[in-house]
Structure 1
Amino acid sequence: MTDAPHAHDDHSVDHGPAETSFSYSADDEIRDISEVPAVELINTVAVHLMSAAAVKLGLGDGPDATRELDLDEARKLITSLAGLITAAAPEVSDSHARPLRDGLRSLQLAFREASPIPDPIGKGPGEKWTGPVT
């Protein structure tokens, strides 16, 4: 047998394990994202921010969760999340905004609890956008 590419019944050429039949380009990504409704994108981004903030608050699932505590990073994520939710709420239905607000509030309260020196009421992460959280 030779080292030539193997021909298949469908007339494609097997280029070996280093190359796959999947080709990816920015055009594919743009085309795919264009089909996703805005509310779904907003929810997806919000959930990613919530998850990242929870990890930075030491609330992750792993055995090292408390070692991942980083209040500075959590503050940035929560504040960004609050801005997103506040801006997006009028654009999405209440059925979408309400759970996002609830998750945000939970993170804000968890941040206050995790802080060795809690921020004054109204000065915590995201409270510029949400108002005081108690």
Structure 2
Amino acid sequence: MSQPSADSPSTDATTATRDIADVAAVEVITTAAVHLMSAAAVKCGLSEDTPDATGADYLDLDEARKLITALAALVTASAADLGNQHARSLRDGLRSLQLAFREASPFPDAPGEGPGEKFTGYVS
């Protein structure tokens, strides 16, 4: 039976596992939230990726709704564990995205029915 080489997938997986084990939970949660925020911002049309493209080129409110709802659930569920400093920044970003969604939507949701509002309450 041969030994796995240093470049084998199992060695890479072991290294990745060791690397992630060194990262604090708050950092993992915050990183996931930032990824959700970034994706939601793009889907709300807030991105100007290239000089000849506008954020509206990426507007996809159905996808934005899903991302904002997932972000709201993550922020709400983890707020107590994140501490006030981290949670406050994430809640501010979430609120901004919820308002941007409402502004971009041609048909506004009823109060409390916007993306993530079942977790955050009505955002105005």
TM-score by length of 1: 0.81
Deviation at 1:25, TM superposition (A): 1.5
Counterpart in the other structure of 2:30:
43
Counterpart in the other structure of 1:97:
87
Separation of aligned partners in 1, 2:89 and 2:82: 12
Deviation at 1:22, TM superposition (A): 6.4
Q: Pick the structure with more helix per residue.
A: 2
Matched, 1:31 2:18: yes
Separation of aligned partners in 2, 1:53 and 1:66: 13
The residue type equivalent to 2:72 in the other structure is A
Matched, 1:53 2:75: no
Q: Secondary structure at the match of 1:25?
A: helix
Aligned residue among 119, 126, 131 for 2:116: 126
Higher Cα Rg: structure 1 or 2?
A: 1
Q: Secondary structure at the match of 1:59?
A: coil
Runs of at least 4 residues off by over 4 Å = 21-24
For structure 1, the residue ranges without an aligned partner over 5 or more in a row are: 1-20
User: 1:67-102 CA deviation, whole Å, 9 max, x = no partner?
Assistant: 110000000000000000000001111001000000
Quote the sequence identity (%). Answer: 63
Could you say which structure has the greater relative contact order, defined with CA pairs below 8 angstroms and 6 or more residues apart?
Answer: 2
Alignment RMSD, CA only?
A: 1.4
For structure 2, the residue ranges without an aligned partner over 5 or more in a row are: 1-5
Deviation at 1:65, TM superposition (A): 2.1
Separation of aligned partners in 2, 1:98 and 1:126: 16
Separation of aligned partners in 1, 2:34 and 2:42: 12
Aligned residue among 56, 60, 63 for 1:66: 56
TM-score by length of 2: 0.87
